Amino acid sequence: MKLNGVEIADGFAEAFGMRATRLVITADTMEWARRAAESLTGFATSVIGCGCEAGIERALEPKDTPDGRPGIAVLVFAASSADLAKQVPLRVGQSVLTCPGTAVYSGLDADETVEVGARLRYFGDGFQIAKRLDGARYWRIPVMDGEFLCADRAGMVRAVGGGNFLILGTTREATRRAAERAVKAMRVLPNVILPFPGGVVRSGSKIGSKYKALIASTNDAYCPTLRADANSALPANVESVLEIVIDGLTESDIAAAMRAGIAAACAPDSGLVRIDAGNYGGKLGKFRFHLREVMG
């Protein structure tokens, strides 16, 4: 299979089950809502080292938020419900409670929940007030610019993490530009995030290492400088590889994002050679996204 002359490899991306929540952060202005969201989702590229994977899903107009103010929807993914329960209140407490004029609401209706205000209320030192609106519980926590309104809990769902594809190009510039096109096309879609900086990963990894302390190490098969020293998977004319990782609320969300991203990357005269995917022989996760089926 080829797309505008770019080979679509006969391989699959391997993804795994995660837990996820959506938080809606509002503020007096969109600028302050975005500042809070960017702080909350900072240092959240991989569960391997960050505890969770998080990113901005989309901006929300005042008509689409619970309090009629500008807002940002963020998605937070973790390997387990316990990990999510730890990360969410920690990040909201450090990055949103501290940010002028903000409030936090649940962006998912689900049977399972993760505590948010239920944990943060203690910051009120006994002055906090519980309030119920439309059956949902909120906390009003006094702060120096007024009150911080926070949902008691946020909905939590089973989700999918680690969807991915690899972009193999003839030059670093061509590969980067293709990745930028892919990210732009994918970020307009709902229910997905691209947790790495700018949505792109240059340090793709494999499971294990020669060093016992590491659970993952550089994906040497796709490193151009190791072509002569490792079991290279690169064609002779490939000089740069970038990876895009996708977390989504469902399998279909990830498949739709991969389809849009790959199509955008493989523009005419893109300088790309192949689109491939990262997997671990099916040993890591139960979800498989076969590239040719996704693009079929």
- In this structure, what token pair is assigned to residue 194? 């691209």
- Residue 229 has a pLDDT of 83
CA 76 to CA 193: how far, in whole Å? 9
- Residue 285 has a pLDDT of 86
Percent of the chain that is helix, strand, coil (3-state, to 5)? 30, 35, 35
Residues of the chain above pLDDT 70, percent: 100
Q: What is the mean pLDDT of the chain?
A: 96
- Residue 24 has a pLDDT of 98
| pLDDT one-digit tens code per residue, 230-246 | 889 999 999 999 999 99
CA 113 to CA 134: how far, in whole Å? 17
Given a cut of 80, whether residue 283 has pLDDT beyond it is no
Query: What is the Cβ-side half-sphere exposure of residue 156, based on CA atoms within 13 angstroms?
Result: 20
Beta strands 6-8 and 272-276: pairing type?
parallel
> Given this chain, do its domains 2-15+160-294 and 19-157 carry the same CATH topology?
yes
CA 137 to CA 113: how far, in whole Å? 12
CA 61 to CA 175: how far, in whole Å? 34
Q: What is the DSSP string of 254-285?
A: HHHHHHHHHHHHT-TT--EEEEE----TTSS-
Question: Does the domain made of 2-15+160-294 have the CATH classification 3.30.70.520?
Answer: yes
- Residue 134 has a pLDDT of 86
31 confidence band (pLDDT: 50, 70, 90): very high
Least confident interval from 60-69, 157-166, 257-266, 273-282: 273-282
User: Which CATH number, 3.40.50.300, 3.40.50.740, 3.30.70.520, 2.40.30.10, labels domain 19-157?
Assistant: 3.30.70.520
Domain ranges of the chain: 2-15+160-294, 19-157
Looking at the DSSP bridge assignments, the partners of residue 169 are: 240, 272
Given a cut of 80, whether residue 90 has pLDDT beyond it is yes
Given a cut of 90, whether residue 60 has pLDDT beyond it is yes
The mean pLDDT value for 140-169 works out to 98
